[in-house]
Structure 1
Amino acid sequence: MTEAADPILRRALLLAGGAALILPAPRGAMAQPASRSPVGIIGSGRLGGTVGTLLARAGHPVLFSSRHPERLKELVEAAGPNARAGLPAEAAAFGEALLVAVPYGALPDVGKELGAALRGKVVLDACNAVVARDGAVGQAAIERGIGLASAEHLPGARVVRAFNTLGSRVLAEQAHRAGAPVAIPLAGDDAAALEAAAALVRDAGFDPVIVGPLARAPEFAMGARGYGQAVTAPELRQILGLSG
């Protein structure tokens, strides 16, 4: 994917204190109508901003959220007419599915503050545990298994681990690439939630690979063999020892 020619897309790091990555327009995606399921983004920094923009350009109504939504103006403009900004509680209520992309240490607070709104919804958990940043919460997640720990922090949500293995810049560059798409590993305990998450991964321009239940999420956690792999689905299945 080449650099954007549109000046608004070049102002990539001006919003949210330089936290978000605004990506160039993917091939043909901007022309699609807003006819798909709404998605709320909890944590609209680099990763949440990138994935949310890809979904908005694929036709999903997207509500980016922040405690200071006025800072998301340029992100919303770059994402296109399907996007708007609001508070985290608004995004949680808005989305049929949610993407949570916050520092892992903040995940318990997300569960406490938004738990009622998240209950029963598909929640894509893209949060990585970094002990130096996330302290005891991050350490506990690594010891417990990050997928199972996330489900405990978000009780009642239909949690699927997704979009945690690649950085925002790689996602921006590789979405909708020519040839075989880049694989995104998924893990979850709810078959219907996995199916919904896989559809969102495809809409964003990638190929979903279902690894298994949440107990297997550590296989593509930070530092694991499935992490950081910008490869095709068959290559990722081989790396992870998956059949098919």
Structure 2
Amino acid sequence: MRIGIIGAGQMAQALGRGWASAGHDLVIGARSRAAADQLVATIGHGARAGSMMDAAEFGAAVLLALPVSALDTVLGEVSAKLVGRTVIDCTNAFMPDVAAPAGATAFVLSEDAVAERIAATAPGAHVVKAFNVCAAEVWASDAREFEGRRLGVPICGDDPAAVRQVCALAEDLKLQPVSSGGLHRAKYLEATSVFTVGLWFSGQDARAIFPPLDAAFAVED
């Protein structure tokens, strides 16, 4: 598959390296051409550097691996090229929680529904929220199975074909795709991420608060 990556940070590197290793064709565009060139040299496997417009035009799927603060500017430049394309949003709008107890590391969301804003800013793009729950270092790691279960990637989107495309890209990274509803549910993924990442940063085991499926239950009132 042709994949355009807009951004040259840790998420772009972690996901881009995995997809390039799996045989996908990559063009990486960034606000700095030098940063794109450096990332391409790190990824290898035939990945190419270009402008953000080059990445948007190239990809059947386009990953937005950007700070949330840069989205408006970048989308203002490339949104016309994203019409009809699968746009993968892996962003999170984190900011420090100033109300947290002294010495505790915690975060809150600076924006409640980033994926929906991207869809509104790039009409015609098939926006899919994915890969936002874990840090880039998790995706860069070779570890994919924990306690006998493959690591899952919740995926939200409105276009079935785009969701299937992103599910296939998750499987190419040896991850378990988890279809999680329409794009209106992406805000819950964003909230889940800010909550669980805050727990991990403070030294708590976020995984321990979720029982496995065979131990989970609910009785309808």
- Which deviates more from structure 2 when the two are superposed, residues 68-77 or residues 81-90? 68-77
- Closer, same or farther: CA 67–147 of 1 in aligned 2, 3 Å: closer
- Find 1:160's aligned residue among 104, 112, 128: 128
Runs of 5+ consecutive residues of structure 1 not aligned to the other structure? 1-36, 133-137
Q: Is the CA contact (8 Å cut-off) linking 1:165 and 1:222 kept in structure 2? A: no
> How far does residue 43 in structure 1 lie from its aligned partner after superposition?
1.0
CA contact (8 A) 1:42 1:101 kept: yes
1:51 matches 2:15: yes
Maintained 8 Å contact 1:184/1:201: yes
SS of 2:180's partner is strand
Percentage identity across paired residues of the two chains = 35
Distance 1:188 1:238 in 2: 28
TM-score (norm 1): 0.70
User: What secondary structure sits across from 2:31 in the alignment?
Assistant: coil
Q: Give RMSD over aligned pairs.
A: 2.9
Amino acid in the other structure paired with 2:159: D
Cα distance in structure 1, aligned partners of 2:168 and 2:46: 18
Q: What residue number does 2:66 align with?
A: 102
2:161 alignment counterpart = 192
More strand by share: 2
Gaps of 5+ in 2: 97-108, 198-205
Question: Quick check: 2:61–2:88 contact (8 Å CA) kept in 1?
Answer: yes
SS at match of 1:111: helix
Evaluate the alpha carbon distance shift between residue 177 and residue 149 of structure 1 in structure 2; reply closer, same or farther with a 3 A threshold.
same
Distance 1:146 1:118, change over 3 A: same
- Cα gap change, 1:194 to 1:236, in 2 (>3 Å): farther
Report if the CA contact (8 A) 1:42-1:100 is conserved: yes
Say whether 1:122 aligns with 2:86.
Answer: yes
In the alignment, the residues of structure 2 paired with residue 154 and residue 113 of structure 1 have an alpha-carbon distance, to the nearest angstrom, of 10
**2:80·2:122 contact (CA, 8 Å) conserved in 1?**
no
For 2:50 and 2:186, the matched residues in 1 are separated by 30
**For 1:92, what is the secondary structure of its paired residue?**
helix
Structure 1 residue 40: Cα displacement: 0.4
Equivalent of 1:77, from 29, 38, 41? 41
Please say if residues 30 and 50 of structure 2, whose CA atoms lie closer than 8 Å, have aligned partners that are also in contact.
yes
Aligned to 2:106: none
Q: Do the aligned residues in 2 keep the contact of 1:97 with 1:122 (CA within 8 Å)?
A: yes
Question: Is the partner of 2:87 in helix, strand or coil?
Answer: strand
Given that residues 61 and 86 in structure 2 are in contact (C-alpha distance below 8 angstroms), is that contact kept between their aligned partners in structure 1? Answer: yes
Shift of 1:98: 0.4
Is the contact made by 2:134 and 2:193 (CA closer than 8 Å) also made in structure 1? no
Give the Cα–Cα distance (whole angstroms) in 2 for the partners of residues 109 and 238 of structure 1.
46
Compute the displacement of 1:205 (Å): 2.3
Q: 1:86 aligns to what?
A: 50
Following superposition, the deviation at residue 49 of structure 1 comes to 1.4
Aligned length: 194
Q: What's the TM-score once normalised by structure 2's chain length?
A: 0.77
Q: 2:184 aligns with which of 215, 219, 225?
A: 215
Q: Cα 1:237–1:168, aligned 2, differ >3 Å: closer, same or farther?
A: farther
Greater C-alpha radius of gyration: 2
Distance 1:163 1:103, change over 3 A: same
Of 175, 182, 205, the match for 1:206: 175
